[in-house]
Structure 1
Amino acid sequence: MANLHPAYRAQPGSPLFVDRPFYHQIANATGQRRLVETIDIPIRDARAWKVPAGHVMRICTRQGPQVGDFNLWSLHNPRERFWASRTRQLQRAHVSVHDRLWSSLPYLRPMATITADTLENYGVDEDGGRVHDLLGTRCDPYVNHLLTGEDFDFHCHSNLTRAVAPFGLTEFDIHDVLNVFQCTGLNEQDQYFMKACPAQEGDYLELFAEIDLLCALSCCPGGDLSVDLWGSDASDDDLLATCHPIGIEIYALDDELLTGWSPPTSPNYRGHHGQRPPAEDWNAKRNQCC
C-alpha cells in the first residue's frame, strides 16, 4: 500500500508544528513542578475538575487496567469544547506524545498537548489495535436500551452528565470523547473493534493545558474491555470484576518552564461565511474600494 500523505498538512509555523523541546522539558523536569490537586474517580462513575492554563494533568491507572472517556471545555466558555473528529484529522486516530486536542468551531485552537505517555511504544498490535482512541465515542444508555431493551444509568454518557451538572452543564454539553487507555481499530470489514486495555497499574497519560480548562472523565462501566459490553455472552458480574478506579493529578509548573509560552489564539477568520454584513459595514467596505 502506498504511503499516502495526510489530507491535512501544516505549513511551517502552524500550531501543528509543536515546539518539541519545550514539551520535552515539561515532561522531564519533574523537579520543577508541584502537585496541587489529586482526584480519585471511582469505578462506573465520573468526576469533573478545573485545570488552569500552563498546568499539567496526569491521568493514571492506579490499581489496574481501566478505560476512561475524556471530555474538555474552555473553562470560561463551554461552547468551546473538544472536537474529536477534527483532532482525528489534524493529528491521528490514536493520539500520543506531541499530539494536540483541538477545540470546536469557530475557536479551533489547541486545548491541550500530550507531553508524556507510558503506552507510547505500544504501537500497532497483531490485530491492528492502537491505544488512546478517537475512532469511537462514549457508551450511553440510549444505545444500551436499543441493543438490550434495558435501562442502565452508569454508562459514560450518564456518568459525565452527572459530573458536569455542578458546573452548570447538561447532557447536551457532553460530546465525543478521547478514549484514554482504550485499544481499538478497524477490522477487515472496516468495522470498529475494541480490545482489552493494555494499561497496567502505574501507567499514565499527561497533558499540558494550553487554555483554562474544565475537564471530565468517566471510568467506563466496561472496565478494561476484556469482557463484551453487549451481546449474548455479556455478564455484568464479569464486567464489574474488570473495573478499576482512575486517578487524576494536577501539577503547577515553575515559571521558568513556561518562558516564551502563551495560550494559543483562534484563526483570525473574518469572512462572515460569505454573508452580507450590516449595511453600514457594507457601505464602508464599498467606499474603501471605490
Structure 2
Amino acid sequence: MYKHYPAAYQVSKGSALAVDKAFYDRIREAKNARTLIEQFEVPIRTGRAWKVSAGQVFRVTAPVGPQVGDFNIWNAHDPRERLWAARTRQLQGAHVSTYDRLWSNLPFLRPLVTITDDTLADYGIDEHGGRVHDLLGTRCDPYVNKLLTGEDFHHHCHSNLTRAVLPHGLTEFDVHDVLNIFQVTGLNDDDLYFMKACPAQKGDYLEFFAEIDVLCALSTCPGGDLSVALWGPDAQDPLSVCRPLGVEIYSLDDSLLQGWTPPERAPYKGNHGLELVTPAWEK
C-alpha cells in the first residue's frame, strides 16, 4: 500500500534533476556520429582504471555472457570528488537506467556522468522485487569475507579496485561505494539485502556520457554472475561462472554536443552560516 507514496526529492522545472532527454536521445541514436577510440576487456577477478574526457561516451559491456561489475568514478583532476552512491540513490533511485545520473559528493554535488543507453532497461521489477544496476549494496571486500569465513581472499572487488587505481596515484582510501553494473538486487521481507543471478547476456551494455573529465575503475566481481551462493552453508567457489567485462570509449562529433556545457559544482558558497571576522590588526 506504500507503492505510490511520493519520493522525498522532487524534480522542479529548471532544476539540475530536470534532464534534457532530447539531448541524450540524440547521443544514443546517432551511432554514425561517434568514433570508437579505445576498447579493452577486464579479465575475471581483476580490475582496471581508465580516463574519459568530458563530452565522450563509454560503455561497460558483457562480451561473453553474464557477469557483474563493480564501478567507481572520480573527477579525473581531483579525486576528492567522486561518486556519492547514497545521494544518487535519493536523487535517482536505488537502481539506475537511461537518463539517470551518478552524482558526486559534497561540496561538489554535480552529475559526473549520465546514462544514455541500457540494453537491460526492460528488466523492470521481477517477482521478488529485484531490479538491475544496483546502488543499494556495495563492493565485496576481503575484510567482511574474513569476518564471515575466517579466510583471506585477495580478489574481492575492493581489492581489485585498489590495485586498479594505484597507477593513478590513488589508494585503498579512495575506493568508495560502487554502482554494481548488471547486478540484480533488492530488499526482502526482513528488510535485508539480496542478490540474484545476473540477467546480462553476450552483447548487453550500459552506456554513459561523461559530464566532466572522469577517472573510472571497474572490477569483474569474483562472484561472477552471482548464480551460486557466496556465503553460508551452501557456499561454493563461483570461478566457473566468472567472465570478463568489456569497456568501449567513443568520441562524439561536435554537432552532437551543441548546447551542452559541463556542469558546475554546487552553487552553495560553503560558509555553513559562519561569519568571517577580520582580525583587529588587519582593520
1:271 to partner: Cα distance:
4.7
How many aligned residue pairs are there?
Answer: 281
1:197 to partner: Cα distance:
0.3
- Write out per-residue CA displacement over residues 38-70 of structure 1, whole angstroms, 9 at most, x where no aligned residue: 121000000000000000001000000000000
Name the CA distance, whole Å, in 2 between partners of 1:77 and 1:277: 27
Give the corresponding residue for 2:115. Answer: 114
Letter aligned with residue 264 of structure 1: P
Name the CA distance, whole Å, in 2 between partners of 1:14 and 1:240: 46
1:203 paired with 2:204, answer yes
Name the CA distance, whole Å, in 2 between partners of 1:229 and 1:133: 18
Give the corresponding residue for 1:134. Answer: 135
| C-alpha RMSD of the superposition | 1.4
Name the CA distance, whole Å, in 1 between partners of 2:152 and 2:270: 47
1:221 paired with 2:222, answer yes
1:245 paired with 2:244, answer yes
Cα distance change of structure 1 residues 150 and 271 upon mapping to structure 2, 3 Å threshold: closer
Name the CA distance, whole Å, in 2 between partners of 1:203 and 1:270: 42
Give the corresponding residue for 2:48. Answer: 47
Name the CA distance, whole Å, in 1 between partners of 2:270 and 2:188: 42
TM-score scaled by length of structure 1: 0.95
Name the CA distance, whole Å, in 1 between partners of 2:267 and 2:205: 35
Can you give the 5+ residue segments of structure 2 that lack an aligned partner in the other structure? Answer: none
Give the corresponding residue for 1:77. Answer: 78
- Write out per-residue CA displacement over residues 52-93 of structure 1, whole angstroms, 9 at most, x where no aligned residue: 000000100000000000000000000000000000000001
1:24 to partner: Cα distance:
0.4
What does 1:148-159 align with in structure 2 at a 5 Å threshold?
A: 148-159=149-160
- Write out per-residue CA displacement over residues 136-173 of structure 1, whole angstroms, 9 at most, x where no aligned residue: 00000000000000000000000000000000000000
User: Which has the higher mean CA deviation after the structures are superposed, 219-228 or 265-274?
Assistant: 265-274
TM-score scaled by length of structure 2: 0.97
1:268 to partner: Cα distance:
1.4
Letter aligned with residue 97 of structure 1: T
Name the CA distance, whole Å, in 1 between partners of 2:80 and 2:40: 25
Name the CA distance, whole Å, in 2 between partners of 1:146 and 1:200: 33
1:278 to partner: Cα distance:
3.9
Q: Secondary structure at the match of 1:151?
A: coil
User: Which has the higher mean CA deviation after the structures are superposed, 266-275 or 222-231?
Assistant: 266-275
1:90 paired with 2:91, answer yes
Can you give the 5+ residue segments of structure 1 that lack an aligned partner in the other structure? Answer: 285-290
1:269 to partner: Cα distance:
1.1
Give the corresponding residue for 1:178. Answer: 179
Give the corresponding residue for 1:265. Answer: 264
Structure 1: which 4+ aligned runs deviate by more than 2 Å? none
- Write out per-residue CA displacement over residues 208-240 of structure 1, whole angstroms, 9 at most, x where no aligned residue: 00000000000000000000111222222xx00
Give the corresponding residue for 1:8. Answer: 9
Q: Secondary structure at the match of 1:165?
A: helix
Aligned partners of 2:107 and 2:270 also within 8 Å: no
1:34 to partner: Cα distance:
0.2
Q: Secondary structure at the match of 2:136?
A: coil
Q: Secondary structure at the match of 2:49?
A: strand
Name the CA distance, whole Å, in 2 between partners of 1:218 and 1:229: 17
- Write out per-residue CA displacement over residues 101-135 of structure 1, whole angstroms, 9 at most, x where no aligned residue: 00000000000000000000000000110000000
1:275 to partner: Cα distance:
2.1
1:10 to partner: Cα distance:
2.5
